[in-house]
Structure formats: C-alpha cells, structure tokens
Amino acid sequence: MNLLLQPTFDTPHNTYPFPDISVADIDEAVQHGLQQEKEEIDAIAHNPAAPTFDNTILPLAESGALLERATTLMYNQLSANTGDELEAVAEKLSPILTEHAADIMQNKALFARVKAVYEAEVVHPTLSEEDRMLLQQTYDGFERSGATLTPEVQQRFKAVKSELAQRSLQFSQNNIKATNSFFLHLTNEADLDGLPEGQIEQAAAAAQERGLTGWVITLHAPSYVPFMQYSTQRHHRETLYRAYMTKCTHDDAYNNFEHCRALVNLRMEQAQLLGYRHYADYVLRKRMAEREERVEELLDDLKAHYLEVARREVAAVEQLAQAQKGTDFCLMPWDFAHYAHLLQLRDYNLDAEMLRPYFELSRVEAGVFGLATKLYGIRFEENPDIPVYHETVKAYEVFDTDGTFLAVLYTDFFPRASKQNGAWMTSYAEQHIDAQGIDHRPHVSVTMNFTPPTAGKPSLLTFDELETFLHEFGHALHGIFARTHHKGLSGTNVYWDFVELPSQFMENYARQPEFLKGFARHYQTEEVIPDTLIERINRAHNFNVAYACIRQVSFGLLDMAYYTRTTLLTTDIPTFEQQAWESVQLLPIVPEACMSVQFGHIMSGGYAAGYYSYKWAEVLDADTFEAFLEGGLFSREVAQRFRDHILSRGGTVHPQTLYNNFRGRPATIRALLKRDGIVMPAAD
C-alpha cells in the first residue's frame, strides 16, 4: 500500500512515515497528484457560477494537496537524504512538473476568473487584509508566469521554465557528486602538523570508512574548513583549495559551465518574455528592495564603509605571514584562513579549538531550545514515536507557553554522502487555518553539517557552528510561530530579502554572556565557560569583520552582474566572474578557480538576483537586536512584539509594514556599523 495516497498517515501529528515510503511510492504519488490537480483546476476554471474569492481563489490555493505532499517529500529528501534512484525519478519528473505548473498558470479560463475577482476587489474592496494579499499574490503569480502572453510566446515561456528546472536539478546533483568525488589521503604523520586532535580523529574515521589506512580530508565543511585554518602544510592547503574551487570545472560528467551559462541566459529570457529589462528587474518587483538601484546603493554603501578597513585587515594577515616566512611571501587564498587564525590567536588569544570543549552538541541544543523558552515561553519534547528519515535525525514536539501544540521540529546535524553541503531550514508541512477554523500546525526541519562525533569524543562544535545553529533555528521559529490562514503566506513564505531577519537576529545571542553561561560547560570537567573566554569572544567579534562583509558584497556583485544582463552571456564563466567582483577582490586571483559553478544559492537555489538579501537583512537584524538591548536581552515584552509583528505574520502584510509596526520606524544601517565597530555611536 502506498501510504502517500492515503488521506492521512497513522503517525503522530500526521508526520511523514519516512521508513515506509519508497522512491517508487513518491513516483506513483506524483503521477496521481498531477492527475488529481488537473481535475481540481478544471473544476475551478469551468465553474458556471460567477467568480468569487470563495469559489476561485480559495480552492485554487488549496488545490494539489496530494501533489504537494509527494513533491515536498521528494525535494526535501533530494537535499537531505538523496540517492541514485531518487535522483533518477526527480530528473524524470522535473520537466513534467514544470509543464504542469505552466499549464495551470497559463490556463486562460482560470486566469479570466482570477482576473475578474481581482478587478472586482480593486473597485469594491471587501476582503480582509490577509485575503487581499492572497488575491494579489495569486494575480501576480499568473501575470509573472505568462498568463497574459500570446499562445506562441507562452509555448516558449514553458520551454524556458522546463529547461530551467532541469538545468537547476542537474547543477545541484553535479555539485554534490563533485564534492563527494574528491578526498585528500594522508599517510605521513608529518602531514598532520598543526591539526587539532579532534580533526585528526575525524580524518582517521573518514579513512576507515573508505577502507584506507592513515587519514582522509574531504571537501565537506567540517573537514575542509579546519584543515585550511590549522594545517601548517601549505602544499596540502593549496591542493585542497584548488580541489574545492575547481569543483564542477573539469572535463567530466560533473562540469557545470554550460549549466551556469544556460541558467543565466534562460532567466534573462524568462524575464524579457514577460516584458522586464532583465531577471533582476523581474525578481526585485517582489522584494523589499524593489529595484536594482536600491541594491546597488546598499552594496555601494557597504563598500564605502568596509572596503578600506578590509584591505587593512588583509595587510595585517600578510604582515604576520611575511614575519614568519620572509618578506617575499605572497599571501594566497589557501593561506588566508591559516594566518588569520594565527593573527587572531596572537592578538586576542582566541582559537576555535579553545571553545569546542564548551560547545558539546547536546548542550548547545539544550541552550538554543532554552533561549526560545526564555524569550517566548515555548518548550521542546523529543518524541521517538515520530518517524525520521535517517537514524541520526531527531524529532521534537514544540508546545506553546499555555501547553498547546505548536509544531514538529526535526533536527539533522551531521554530514553524509547523501546530503548537500551547507545548512538550511525547510518545511515538511506548512501551517494554515482551514475553512473549518482548524489550525494545522507546521512540521519544520533544521539541517546542518556539523562536526560529527568520533570514537573518542562527542560532537564538539566551533563557535561558527553555534552561530549556524542559531541562524537555522531562527528560520525554524519563523515557521513554528506561523498563524495564518493560507499556506502560501505562512511562515517563511515572505519576501526573500526579509526571510533572513529572524535567522540572523538569533545569531546575536551567540556572544551574550547570559546566554552562553546557561549551557556552555566543558564536556569533561563540567566547568562553566570562563568569563575570560567570553571576553575574548567579544573582543575578537569584529576581527576581520570588514573582510567578511566585503566577501559577501563580492557575492552580491557577482549575482547582480549575472542577472542584470540584457544580452546573452557568451563570455567564459571564470572570466566573467573575475571581472564582476574585481573591484572588491582582496587576495590574488587563481585563474582556474571558479565559484559560479558551485554557487548553488544563485544558480540552483532561490537567491538568483537576491544574494544581497543577506546584507539587507543584516541591517534589519542589527536594528532589531538594538530593541532587545534597549528593552532587555530576554525581554518577554519585546519578544512578544517580535513574535506578533514578524514571526507569526508570514507574508500576510508587506514586510516593510511589519517591520515598521514592530520597531516604530524603518531600519537604518547605523546599528550594523555600530555593531561591527566601523563607526562608534554618537555621544549623547
């Protein structure tokens, strides 16, 4: 029996029964879901009654439940727990799903009804604020999907969307496979010089998994990042860097050059078919930034404040390297993390390995959950009866301050071959309130690639990994607190340059003594993290902060360079990339290195023409955290306002209005500059 075809699952909170669903089940459910939604759409489009919100917009928003259930599982598992069989099915279904979506959005009879409801509401407004937003989103969705195009242009538009979906999927699969295909095998103990004990144990375990003696370093972050930081073996650092930065550039099955070019050109064509100048113009109409000039203003403002500071930071790192290696030493990209680490150790007596013993994962998890309890009064209870998709995944029930059930939260912490690099939050079920007034609570997941445990040690996180946990947990809270009527407006379904506010806001707590002392204990001695270490964390917080900012700016410039094009991209990808961010490059360029071919955010993810969003949201998060510094670090009153005005409202209101309602005014860059130590606050 295919459980995906059943009305409900016999599981707590109707959660997916992962172990009992096969790839074949997903395939079959998608096929059934496609047919079912076609019938639902046909019934809406040919309803003989005059079009209204209740008989057109609502049933359209609620259509395709079976298809959504099956594709949600498929796409989430492609990222978190993929395999050859699932990838083959996804590749087969991708063009079918794309064509199906295009057929709906270009259905003339359906659009005529949507348009009639939209125009009637413009003349005589009767809907609630949330329903009006759903109507606006629905109408805009049709228009932005080619509903107003001629039949000939619609056909081309559908073909473009289909190829985009296929190329995007292939790009992601190539990236995962290229990452997994390389490892550095070390057999000489001298090659381990400088590495922390924990990483050596991890490398030995990685070798054993492959049936090898010695040690293995991979391109997965928990292996790659500390090696680049700690290893004294420059030739090995160079080998790893070149392997990482040439992923998907080689003459093999994982090459992404043509996928990159096609994705950029297809997105340009998609936008121009709809009458926009370029893809960024199309995207930004549905962003807080609204137009490319405002993105450019942000990036220029950041360059003006941070670039010279960043150059001084890089010069300081190079000076240290030259003091050790000679004045003719040229600092290369594979050197920066290593010598920056040594400089931080020298100037701040701080090293990531000093902090690891205090950040044992289970205690970090308890601390992060406890922070949510302090701020919002919610609590988390693990429920082993909720099925999970991998033995290392855990499932929790989340309860509100009054004991009512809020959400299911899955946590998936460790890297594996079936999982993409990076960290993300996703939903397996969106919150919504149905026509009977029943509040369907969300099922959300936070997925990371943390340092795994070894035979001799539990999982001990770096400070960066603590911040990553807080970041993804902030996204999770955005989903957990959702309280809207419509799935499409629920939780993180907000403008892309607003979605990072709840996540980046949470990172601010990583440096707060009151937070750290609540959970950070030495995993062996039980010693609470010393004040001296916390002081060092805070003194070193702005270490190379300008370098990090300009790195983000460079990604934003590359993104905008690709997606403000009005003519086809014919330049080779590495050359285009180097020209796009040349004005902010701080280290020598390695000609064969190329980030675009592995830059999933802007190629196969949702950040095309939107990478600036991280810095846009950083302005918001710094300004938001000032409200807590003013009202109390764990202020329930301020937290409740943040929950009421931001976290629970999803996309039901324009984000600028939501922010203004929370803060009483728009955000400015001042709080970010102050936090980063770029300018000091003015004296009273």
Catalytic residues: 472
* Composition of the chain by helix, strand, coil, percent to 5: 60, 5, 35
Q: Reduce the DSSP state of residue 411 to 3 states and report it.
A: strand
Q: Which residue has the tokens 């009767």?
A: 126
Residue from 449, 366, 426 nearest 16 by CA? 426
Pairing, β 215-218 against β 379-382: unpaired
Q: Which amino acid is at 617?
A: A
Residues with Cβ within 8 Å of residue 78, at least 6 apart in sequence: 86, 87, 90, 172
Across-strand partners of 408? 397, 443
Whether residue 95 contacts residue 166, with contact meaning beta carbons closer than 8 Å, is answered with yes
What CA–CA distance (Å, rounded) separates 548 from 554? 10
Residue from 635, 225, 191, 275 nearest 462 by CA? 225
Whether residue 67 contacts residue 30, with contact meaning beta carbons closer than 8 Å, is answered with yes
Q: How many CB atoms lie within 10 A of CB 387?
A: 17
CA pseudo-torsion sign 104, 110, 115, 117 = negative
What CA–CA distance (Å, rounded) separates 178 from 504? 30
Largest alpha-carbon pair distance within the chain? 83
Q: Which residue has the tokens 């990076």?
A: 422
What CA–CA distance (Å, rounded) separates 322 from 318? 6
What CA–CA distance (Å, rounded) separates 136 from 118? 7
Residues with Cβ within 8 Å of residue 22, at least 6 apart in sequence: none
Angle at which helices 545-563 and 573-580 pack, to 10 degrees?
A: 130
Whether residue 523 contacts residue 458, with contact meaning beta carbons closer than 8 Å, is answered with yes
Q: Which amino acid is at 373?
A: T
- The per-residue DSSP string of 553-616 comes to HHHHHHHHHHHT-SS---S-HHHHHHHHTGGG--S---TT--SGGG-HHHHTSS-TTTTTHHHH
Whether residue 1 contacts residue 394, with contact meaning beta carbons closer than 8 Å, is answered with no
- The per-residue DSSP string of 102-139 comes to HHHHT-HHHHHHHHHHHHHHHHS--S-HHHHHHHHHHH
- The per-residue DSSP string of 305-370 comes to HHHHHHHHHHHHHHHHHHHHH-TT----HHHHHHHHHHHHHHHH---HHHHGGG-BHHHHHHHHHH
Would you state the structure tokens that stand for residue 311, as one six-digit string? 């150059």
Whether residue 509 contacts residue 437, with contact meaning beta carbons closer than 8 Å, is answered with no
